[in-house]
Chain A
Amino acid sequence: MEDKLQKVNRELLQIVQGSPIATFVINKEHIITRWNKACENLTGLSANEMIGTKKQWSIFYSQERPVMADLVVDDAGEEEIKKYYTDKYRKSAVIKGAYEAEGFLGEGVLWFFFTAAPLRDAEGNVVAAMETLQDITERKIAEAIEEVAAEELRKTSEQLKESAAQLIQAEKFEAVGQLASGVAHEVKNPLAIIIQGVNYLTRHVASEKNIIRTLEMIKSNVKRADSIVSALVDFSRATKIELHPQDINSVLENSLRLVEHKLKLKNIKVIKEAREDLPQVLADKGKMEQVFINIFLNSVHAMPNGGNISIRSYLAPKGRLSRSLQGKGLARLDKLGEGIDARSEYYSKFSKRAVMVEIEDTGVGISQENVKKVFNPFFTTKGPREGTGLGLSVTKNIIDMHGGIIEIKSEEGKGTKVIVALKIDGDE
């Protein structure tokens, strides 16, 4: 007859042996005493070859080192556990002295969730340790897939948000554009009457010097008001662009030709450094000419006593806009060897190559405070009769519509550099 103790012993043994969870037990001397069926299946190592050995490390590692059960059976304490399992382990909430961990084990092929718990004698001394192993590779793969999917979803959602924001921006511009041309029409009509009225009066009161002076003042201010509403219409006009493949160097040449007389008049020398074999950019030719003309005219204005305008075009190749620089916030382009910097936006928008144009003058420059404001509508450092403050605002608007980037770097007394980056035809 089996006594009660033997019966309990046999039942426990069967529980361990028959458990679907891979389990092994080591004694105080670190010798394996139990190695259940599930453990055989999971590790491919039979109970026969493992029991009586200390080769428990061979499940996970290519060379001998303590496994979690070894540390638990020595009652090693958390410091020791931490040494081997860094931050991957957790203390068991249920069993004193027990730990659990998740890790990429088995030569990096499988993910395991494993626990180790002490087995104690009647006095509470640790006499053995039991370790269980569960293969969670599939769960981990599923989690990884989920993570990738979530990341993709997040990216898509961000892109959608960005597109929606652009759409709203475009709609706003459209609305502002309609408003601007409406206002322009309503303002230009009375201006047309005023200016002709002034001319009439000028002819009829020619003898009164002060009146003539006043009429001239009215006339010049009518022209000023007219130039502002015209600029407003220009500003709103930048909302529609037609993109076609363009050679940026010929766009630059055309723009230059249109301001040539002003450059000559102000004794400004143009230094060109164009790269000949640039890929075509996707651009609205007329709008880009407007951009470059605006930039040239600003340079002319900044150099009343002459100076130089240097124009460079080059390719910022894909390699230089490498992934390592993406998402690092204010990554600097001059690290890329081009001597300029750009916003983080540059990298998010241009993971591929970009055609760059730099226009640098030796003019009076812009103060650090003002350089932040140059793209604001109606911001101008020119006199009220010289500028509407819409030129660079229109310029920025046009570049934005191209999905490009414009940057201005300036040093007072030294000059200003405008950097334009444009997308390449065929690069998406």
Chain B
Amino acid sequence: MGKKKVMIFDDEEDFLEITKVNLEEAGGYDVLTFSNAKDIIAEVHRFEPDIILLDIRMPEVDGIDACQMLNNDSIGSHIPVIIVSALSKREDKVIAYKKGVAGYLVKPIEEKDLIAKIEEALRGFE
């Protein structure tokens, strides 16, 4: 079985870097990172990921708007999305789940929990 392609959108460059390293070292993932979600549809069409990790608070296009853009897209709407955000309020989670996300993780998060959630989401979409 080939490696799963993971796209991460987060404006925290250090978070992108360390998460990429940890996921790739865990094995089974190719990770592409993006610090801005404004071109999310184009990037998704280009890389055709298996799963997308989205931060909520990002400049220009936030994670919730990005979800909406994916929902409106023929390819994007078939890719599971996990929110990985520092926002911990119930209201934030409700908004995200209403957009159809497969999971919501609150930072700080350890890669083992992230992997568990990714695998769960991928199973759900198989």
Closest to B19 in A: A196
Question: Is A168 in the interface zone, CB < 8 Å from B?
Answer: no
Interface membership of B94, Cβ < 8 A: no
Contacts of A192 in B (CB 8 A): 12, 15, 86, 107-109
Task: Give the nearest-CB partner of B109 in chain A.
Answer: A192
**The one of A194, A196, A237 that contacts B89, using a Cβ cutoff of 8 Å:** A237
If A185-B57, A189-B15, A222-B108 touch, does A196 touch B86 (CB 8 Å cutoff)?
Answer: no
When A181-B89, A188-B86 are in contact, do A203 and B25 touch as well, CB less than 8 Å?
Answer: yes
Q: Which of A220-256 contact B (CB under 8 A)?
A: 222-223, 226, 230, 233, 237
By a CB distance below 8 angstroms, the chain B residues around A195 are 108-110
Report Cα–Cα, A200/B18, bound state, in Å. Answer: 8
Taking the nearest CB of chain B, how far is it from the CB of A354, in angstroms?
29
Tell me if B41 is interfacial: C-beta within 8 Å of chain A. Answer: no
CA distance A137 to B21 in the complex (A): 93
Q: Given the complex of chains A and B, what is the CA–CA distance between A199 and B57 in angstroms?
A: 25
Instruction: Identify which of B19, B89, B107 contacts A188 (C-beta below 8 A).
Output: B107
Interface size range on B against A? 10 to 19
Contact with B along A245-287 (1 / 0, CB 8 A): 0000000000000000000000000000000000000000000
CB distance from A12 to the nearest CB of B (A): 90
Minimum CB–CB distance from A223 to chain B (whole Å) comes to 8
A197 interface contact, C-beta 8 A: yes
Task: Please state if B25 and A200 are interface contacts (CB–CB under 8 Å).
Answer: yes
A199 touches which of B15, B22, B86, B107 (Cβ 8 Å) = B22
Q: Is B75 an interface residue (CB 8 A)?
A: no
Decide if A184 touches B86 in the complex (CB within 8 Å): yes
What's the dominant secondary structure at chain A's contact region?
A: helix
Task: Please name all residues of chain A whose beta carbon is closer than 8 Å to the beta carbon of B12 when the two chains form the complex.
Answer: 189, 192-193
| Cross-chain contact A226 with B110 (CB below 8 angstroms) | no
A191, CB-defined interface residue at 8 Å:
yes
- If the complex has contacts A184-B88, A188-B108, A222-B108, are A196 and B18 also in contact, measured as CB distance less than 8 A? yes
Residues of A within 8 A of B48 (CB): none
Chain A residues near B95 (CB, 8 Å)? none
User: Is B32 engaged at the interface, CB distance under 8 Å to the other chain?
Assistant: no
CA separation between A55 and B110, bound complex, in Å? 103
Q: Are A233 and B108 also in contact (CB < 8 A) when A189-B15, A200-B22 are?
A: no
A193 → chain B closest CB, angstroms: 5
Chain B 78-91 interface mask (CB, 8 Å, partner A; 1/0): 00000000111100
B22 to A188, Cβ gap below 8 A?
Answer: no
Q: Which residues of A contact B19 (CB under 8 A)?
A: 196
Q: Which chain B residues numbered 68 to 108 have a C-beta less than 8 Å away from chain A? A: 86-89, 106-108
**Chain B positions within 8 Å of A237 at CB level:** 89
Partner of A194, one of B25, B86, B108, B111: B108
Which residues of B sit under 8 angstroms from A187, Cβ to Cβ? 86
A193 touches B15 (CB 8 A): yes
Asked whether, in the complex, the Cβ of A197 is within 8 Å of the Cβ of B18, the reply is yes
- Given A192-B108, A195-B110 in contact, is the A185-B18 Cβ separation under 8 Å? no
The reply to whether B18 and A233 form a contact with Cβ atoms under 8 Å apart is no
In the assembled complex, which residues on chain B have CB atoms less than 8 Å from the CB atom of A191?
A: 107-108
Given contacts A185-B57, A188-B107, A191-B107, whether A196 and B88 have CB atoms under 8 Å apart is no
The interface residues of chain A lying within 8 Å CB-to-CB of B25 are 200, 203
Among A195, A196, A200, residue most surrounded by chain B Cβ atoms (within 10 Å): A196
Top 3 nearest A-B pairs (CB, nearest first) are A188-B86, A192-B107, A192-B108
